[in-house]
A and B are shown apart, each in its own frame.
Chain A
Amino acid sequence: MREVGEAMGPIVQALKKNRLAVIGAGILSVLVFIAVFAPYLAPRDPVELNLAERLSSPSWDHLMGTDAVGRDTLSRIIYGTRVSLMIAVVVTMIEVLLGMIVGMTAGYLGKAVDEILMRIVDVLLAFPGIILALALVGMLGPSLTNLVIALAAVGWVRYARIVRGSILSVKEERFVESARAIGCGNLRIATRHILLNIVTPIIVLATLSMGTTIISIAALSFLGLGAQPPMAEWGNMLNEGKPFMEKAPHLMIFPGLMIMITVLAFNFLGDGLRDVMDPRLKEKVEV
């Protein structure tokens, strides 16, 4: 564990130099803050109906206006941050775990096991992810839990591929052979030597994928297959705001903006991470 922390040091340093990455990280910190302290930040209860004030434009009273049943948009946006971020994190964690298990098994055991597992991965990759997730949620029934299950069930494959690839290349590295020569057992080699060296591509992929995951969550909720009303979630809000697109455009603009900003932030950060980690190009002065 200590090594992971130590390995992060120079990465963070290098990251600071990348302007976009810093911006992305900054935005994300704000979003996380909002998500964590949502109950204290939201001026009103996100599910509180107030029919008298329905469809009102942004004003000092309701900074982002109200929706069709009078709920304060700003509060819903704030609570929506929670949902989006949390779900995205949970989905990503499950994906990474599943992907790692499959990828490591395939990479380590090789031969037949590898072939079978990778063909399964190939088949899944052939389907457009969102359609498959759609079908899954359709089968399981619309709910947030099922959304998580569907997205994770579809998304783990890209991690499996990357993990397997990394394992294959790291496995052949001299230092793994050296560890075996010293007398390290398989478990120690897997955790100490191989794992640490495959962590970077996973982190990069996870960060970059967060954006896609958030969009998927919003998309499926938009279609009514994810977060169910009255839960406040950006995709939901887009759906609910659709009929009022001309009369009250703010109902779609604000959630749309939030999705865009969040995804951009993750992408900036992810790009920065990839540039920093991915081959560590250092200016070597050949003398």
Chain B
Amino acid sequence: MTGDLAILERKDGRGALGTFAVGGPIIEVKNLKKYFSSGLFRKKVVKAVDGVSFEIAKGEVFGLVGESGCGKTTVGRCILRLLEPTSGGIRFDGLNLLALKGRKLRTLRQRMQIIFQDADGSLNPRMRTRDLLLEPLRVHRRLDGKAAERLGEIMEMVNLTPDLADRYPHELSGGQRQRIGIARALSLAPDFIVADEAAASLDLLVQSQIVNLLERFRTERRTGYLYISHNLNLVRRIADRMAVMYLGKFVEMGPTEAIFTEPAHPYTDALLASVPTLAADRRPAPLAGEPPSPLHLPSGCRFHPRCPRAQPLCARLEPELREIAPGHAVACHRVS
């Protein structure tokens, strides 16, 4: 997907300043792999992410779902280079992210942020709310001496009452802590945010508030999101496109509605069927077996031991991600 090109004209009409890429993807990931090795002489290898490729357009919300151990959190961390990828390419707004170092990387971080799942651990317990909220701006010297003013703006943005400014994280509720985490990410007005289960541990009503906030930012600032979650309902609500991940690989990727209404991969199907509904018109249909451990990868298609539609071929050959409809790709031998 190439972006549109725009030509910036000089105001005095004497020609152009240059050609710039407008609307290209904010994130391009190519064949990302992250292996963790442990044990003596680094023998045990966990292939947390094993070849994942996708793009996120500016202002797009890309949902990433899967169960524990599938590697979705690792993908998020690698994109922000909080973990170093083992191999693969990552481009941020056209820039080769893996080539950046030191100060250049740190300065770029203003444009890409992460919201962690449990704000409980991600806030330094010895810092007060006001210091936590102002830290990002302070680190990048964007306070311009207007600390108090900016603090007020930030707190209002996430609906934190001013009296909370002097509190420590343990003196706040889970929802309030999460809002601090979000405020820290948003205060830098980034172009891209990885939301790693950003609303997971929160109460329903608080979840609603938080998701609303994220959506507002998306519309106002055209922020792109990678929304990692195991809550399928939430992903359906906010993601434009999504991918389903299993044991380190994408098994299905495409427009959210298409995947929800006509899931192509058996795992996606099983996942959607497992979610209990409010109407309780049917009981969730459980998938047999346990979510797998990335330490013992099955041969061939990684899902075949649990797949209700497995064939002998599935145990031998690993399926490739193939497009079955515009923008909708599946990795399954039965579907092609």
Contacts and interface: CB of A to CB of B under 8 A. Distances in A.
Do A's and B's CB atoms come within 8 Å in the complex?
Answer: yes
Interface of A: 3, 6-7, 173-175, 177-185, 188, 192-193, 196-197, 282
Contacts of B128: 6
B121 A173 contact: yes
B123 A175 contact: yes
A178 B106 contact: no
Nearest to B124: A175
B109 A183 contact: yes
B136 A182 contact: yes
A181 B82 contact: yes
Contacts of B139: 182-184, 188
A181 B106 contact: no
B80 interface: yes
Contact of A175 (B80, B106, B107, B122): B122
B168 to A, nearest CB: 9
A174 B109 contact: no
Interface stretch (B110-118, B258-266, B286-294): B110-118
B190 to A, nearest CB: 10
Interface of B: 80, 82, 106-107, 109-110, 113-114, 116, 118, 121-128, 131, 135-136, 139-140, 170, 181, 184, 188
A187 to B, nearest CB: 11
A180 B82 contact: yes
Contacts of A179: 124, 135
Contact of A181 (B109, B127, B131): B109
Nearest to B131: A3
B123 A181 contact: no
Nearest to B80: A181
A64 B121 CA distance: 58
Contact of B127 (A3, A180, A182, A183): A3
Nearest to B77: A177
Contacts of A183: 106-107, 109-110, 136, 139-140
23 contacts: A6-B128, A173-B121, A174-B116, A174-B118, A174-B122, A175-B123, A175-B124, A177-B82, A177-B122, A178-B114, A178-B122, A178-B123, A181-B80, A181-B109, A181-B114, A182-B135, A182-B136, A182-B184, A182-B188, A183-B136, A184-B106, A197-B125, A282-B170
B126 A197 contact: yes
A6 B131 CA distance: 13
A192 B128 CA distance: 13
Contacts of B80: 181
Given A178-B114, A183-B140, 16 more contacts: A3-B131, A174-B122, A177-B116, A177-B122, A178-B181, A179-B124, A180-B82, A181-B82, A181-B109, A182-B113, A182-B136, A182-B188, A183-B109, A183-B136, A188-B139, A193-B124
A188 B138 CA distance: 12
A121 to B, nearest CB: 22
Given A174-B121, A178-B116, A185 B106 contact: yes
